[in-house]
Structure 1
C-alpha cells in the first residue's frame, strides 16, 4: 500500500502497553514520524473503578504512561519513581483498600480525571485531554464512555470487583464467570467504529483475552464492526509454550472453559470466515507445533518470536504484526 497506514490496536494491561510500544516503534522504523495519525489504540475500561472518591482507569493509565515513557516498567503499573505518602495517609484514615497501592503521581492523574468527569467531560474527552500532556504518538480511545466495571462471580455465588479478585486475592478464588453490568446498554466510544471501518490493519494485542480484550468485544457494535471492516484482523497470542506470559489469564481462560494454549485462544476469537474475528494469528516459536491446528480453524498461522523483553523485541513483534496485515501477499 502507499501512504500512511491506519492501524487500530485493541489492547489492555501490561501486555497491551508493551505491544503498543512495539507497534509505534515499528511505524517509526518504517519512516512514519507522525504516528499519532497512523495509530489508534482502543483501550479496555472494564477494570475501571471508583475508589476513595476518584475514578481509576488502570489499563488506560498503563498504556498512557508507557507511551509517555513515564511508567514503572519493573512493577508493570503506575509511574516511575512514584512515592506513596498520600496512600499511607488514606490507610491511616481507614479509607480505600490497604492492599491496593496508589502512588502520589498516579493519584494526581486520578484527581485530574475525576475533576474533569465531574465537570461534565466524557471519558473519551478526558482521555483526549490527558493525551495532550505528552507526545504519545498514538490516538487513545476508551472502549466506551459507559461505566461497565468487571465483576467476578465466584463459585459460591459471591461477587467481587475484578480489582479485588485480581490484586488482593491474586486470582486464587475460583471464578464461575465474569460480568460487566450495564454493558448491554453501552455504546462504542465516539470515533471507534469509524476508526475500525477506515483501518488498513486491526491488531489484537497479546492481552488477557477474557478480561482485557473480552470486554472491548462485548460492547455492542464493536464485534460486528470488526467483522465488517475491510482491514485484515491480526491477533497475537498471549500464550507462549502453553503458559500465559504475565498475570493470571490462565485462571480466566479456565473459568470460561478454554484451554491455556495458543490454538485454543485463536479458537476463542474464531476465524472471520466462520463468523469470528481473526484473519491471522501470530504464535510463538515455542508453539510451532500448533500452527496446523490454528490453520485448521481457518486462521492463517504465523510463527514469530513473541517475547517483548526489550525495545528491540517489542518493535520486532510490532513489525511482524504489521507485516502480517500490510503485506501484499497475505499467504506469507
Structure 2
C-alpha cells in the first residue's frame, strides 16, 4: 500500500505500478486493474455517516448498520487499453466467489466492462459467494441486504443476470437451480465450491474449463 501510494503521488498509473510490483515479486500472471482512475467504495451508515469501505471493514470491523453502499466516481472510470485487449482475447471470463457489491461491483459497474460483458455473456461465468443465506467469507451478506438483494444464490444471480451465461452454486443449494434458471435464464450448476484441499480446487477448475 505504501509503495503504491508513493508511486501514485509521483504520477504513475495504477496499471504501471501493478506491473512493477509483479516484476519485483516475480509474478508471471498478467494482473490488470479495472481502471487507472481513482474510485472509492463508500458506506452510508444508518446514522447518515459517509465512510470509506476500509474504515467500515478494518477500523470498525463491519460492526455498523448499513443504509446504503455506493461507488464514488464510478461514472468517470475508464478501462486501461490492455484490459480491454485481454478481454477481447479471452476464451473465458470467471467471476470468483467474491463480494458482489464491493469487490466485483466496482469492476462490473464500469461502463466499458459492463457493456463488454453484456455483448459476450456466453463466455462469462460466475461462482456464488453465498451458501444458504450466509456468505462464504466477509461482509457480502450484510452489503447485499443493504442494497435490497436477497441474501441467497438467487440474489447473487440477479445481480449478474445480464452479464453471465453460467452460474455455479454450492451443492447444498442444488434445490435452487430451477428457481434461479426460471428467474434469470442463467444455466446453473451445483458443485462443491468450498475448498478443503487442492484437489477440490482442481476439480472445480476442471468443471469450469470443460463447460
Rounded Cα–Cα distance in structure 2 between residues aligned with 1:176 and 1:137: 41
TM-score by length of 2: 0.93
Q: 1:18-97 counterparts in 2 under 5 A? A: 56=1
Find the counterpart in structure 2 of residue 315 from structure 1.
202
Aligned to 2:27: 136
Instruction: Check whether the contact 2:125–2:165 (CA below 8 A) recurs between aligned residues.
Output: yes
Shift of 1:206: 0.5
Higher RCO, Cα 8 Å, sep 6+: 1
Confirm or deny that 1:119 pairs with 2:6. no
Structure 2 unaligned spans of 5+: none
What does residue 92 of structure 1 align with?
A: none
> Structure 1 length as normaliser, TM-score?
0.60
Match of 1:284 in 2: 170
Does the 8 A contact of 2:122 with 2:164 survive in 1?
no
Partner-residue secondary structure (3-state), 1:191: helix
Question: Is contact 1:197–1:229 with CA below 8 Å preserved after alignment?
Answer: no
How far apart, in 2, do the equivalents of 1:216 and 1:198 lie?
Answer: 18
- RMSD of the alignment, in Å? 1.6
Q: Can you give the 5+ residue segments of structure 1 that lack an aligned partner in the other structure?
A: 1-55, 57-109, 271-275, 325-332
- Cα separation, partners in 2 of 1:131 and 1:169, compared to 1, 3 Å: same
Number of aligned residue pairs: 210
| Within-5 A mapping of 1:1-332 | 56=1, 110=2, 112-229=3-120, 232-270=123-161, 276-296=162-182, 297-324=184-211
| 1:192-240 CA-partner distances (Å, limit 9, x unpaired) | 2222222111111100000000011112211001112375111101112
Residue deviations 1:117-176 (CA, integer Å, cap 9, x gap): 233220000001111123434210111111111110112221111111112222221212
